[in-house]
């Protein structure tokens, strides 16, 4: 919550993490659309943090999930168009970023494990290509190229999981970026909300880096995670604003 009144932020980012279409929670998705609609005059960037689709049909380890690329892409295209509409006339001036997650890696032609690589259906080759064309895509890479930097905010889907992985990956991002001051690192992947907080460098040292994980937009117990512990999963609806060269501020609400 921003308690100090101030002028308009130069940057206002709407993050979306782990929608996992077509398992996306519709009530949660409509809250995202509400927020986009209410904040349309200030949003400058939308960052899709990856795992937008599930792509189990392209997975080398399917878990008995429905294997239907088209219903998944239809759902993602609908979400893209709904978000475009919610943002109103300024939607064409918003920057649309899509960072690949480990699930997008299932359809990445560079993935040696992708099954039937030549036959993989990519979103831009479907009838919904226009809905995907607005997104600037970033591949799933664990080095600097996998990080999206907007001002002092750095976004990355994430690879590690479990307690402490947000801090470790935050430190790694900070170091890959050359150790900048006032950095906010944002990741998804764990489906578990980590509220904005300083990144501890050692038990006694804190730098000027903060981290945030907005959680996910999927259902609480999806079929794709029958073997995972989903009790910690959650969703933070959020906006990230930045004034000048300050640490970006996160305004968030945990939704259920
Ligand atoms: Fe995910
Ligand atoms: Fe992930």
Query: Which ligand is located closest to the Cα atom of residue 19?
Result: 1
- Does 5 map to a domain? no
Q: Are 123 and 73 in contact (CB under 8 A)?
A: yes
Residue 169 backbone dihedrals phi, psi, to 5 degrees: -70, -30
What pLDDT does residue 112 have?
82
Mean pLDDT of 98-123: 85
- Does 4 map to a domain? no
User: Tokens 């475009």 — which residue?
Assistant: 84
For residue 143, pLDDT beyond 90: yes
- What CATH number is attached to the domain comprising 100? 3.60.21
Mean pLDDT of 123-133: 96
- Does 113 map to a domain? yes
Q: pLDDT per residue over 180-230, tens digit each?
A: 999 999 999 999 999 999 998 887 777 789 999 999 998 877 777 778 888
For residue 3, pLDDT beyond 60: yes
Q: If pLDDT is split at 50, 70 and 90, which confidence band does 249 have?
A: very high
What pLDDT does residue 144 have?
95
Could you list the residue range(s) of the whole structural domain that residue 19 is in? 11-255
From the CA of 195, how far away is ligand 2's center (Å)? 18
Q: pLDDT per residue over 145-181, tens digit each?
A: 999 999 999 999 999 998 899 999 999 999 999 999 9
Q: Is the whole-model pTM more than 0.85?
A: yes
From the CA of 87, how far away is ligand 1's center (Å)? 25
Q: Lowest mean pLDDT of 58-67, 98-107, 160-169, name the range.
A: 58-67
- Does 91 map to a domain? yes
- Does 6 map to a domain? no
Query: Which ligand is located closest to the Cα atom of residue 99?
Result: 2
Q: What is the CB neighbour count within 10 angstroms for residue 145?
A: 11
What pLDDT does residue 218 have?
84
Mean pLDDT of 59-87: 85
For residue 2, pLDDT beyond 70: no
- Does 159 map to a domain? yes
Total domain count, the chain: 1
- Does 227 map to a domain? yes
- Does 190 map to a domain? yes
Neighbours of ion ligand 1 (CB under 5 A): 18, 51
From the CA of 232, how far away is ligand 1's center (Å)? 13
For residue 63, pLDDT beyond 70: no
Mean pLDDT of 13-30: 95
Q: Are 78 and 30 in contact (CB under 8 A)?
A: no
Burial of 140 per CB tally in 10 Å (0-12, 13-18, 19+): buried
Q: Are 131 and 139 in contact (CB under 8 A)?
A: no
């Amino acid at each position: 919550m921003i308690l100090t009144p101030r002028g308009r932020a130069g940057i206002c980012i709407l993050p979306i993490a782990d929608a996992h279409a077509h398992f996306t929670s519709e009530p949660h998705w409509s809250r995202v659309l509400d927020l986009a609609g209410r904040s349309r005059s200030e949003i400058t960037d939308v960052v899709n943090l990856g795992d937008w689709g599930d792509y189990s049909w392209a997975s080398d380890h399917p878990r008995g999930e429905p294997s239907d690329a088209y219903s998944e892409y239809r759902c993602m295209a609908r979400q893209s168009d709904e978000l475009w509409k919610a943002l109103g006339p300024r939607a064409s001036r918003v920057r649309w970023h899509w960072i690949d997650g480990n699930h997008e890696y299932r359809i990445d032609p560079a993935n040696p494990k992708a099954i039937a690589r030549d036959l993989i259906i990519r979103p831009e080759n479907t009838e919904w290509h226009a809905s995907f064309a607005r997104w600037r895509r970033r591949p799933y890479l664990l080095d600097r190229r996998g990080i999206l930097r907007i001002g002092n905010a750095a976004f990355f889907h994430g690879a590690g999981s479990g307690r402490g992985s947000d801090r470790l990956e935050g430190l790694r991002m900070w170091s890959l970026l050359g150790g900048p001051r006032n950095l906010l690192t944002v990741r998804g992947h764990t489906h578990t909300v980590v509220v904005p907080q300083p990144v501890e460098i050692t038990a006694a040292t804190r730098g000027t880096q903060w981290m945030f994980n907005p959680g996910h937009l999927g259902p609480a117990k999806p079929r794709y995670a029958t073997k995972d512990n989903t009790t910690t999963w959650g969703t933070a609806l959020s906006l990230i604003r930045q004034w000048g060269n300050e640490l970006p501020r996160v305004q968030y609400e945990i939704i259920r």
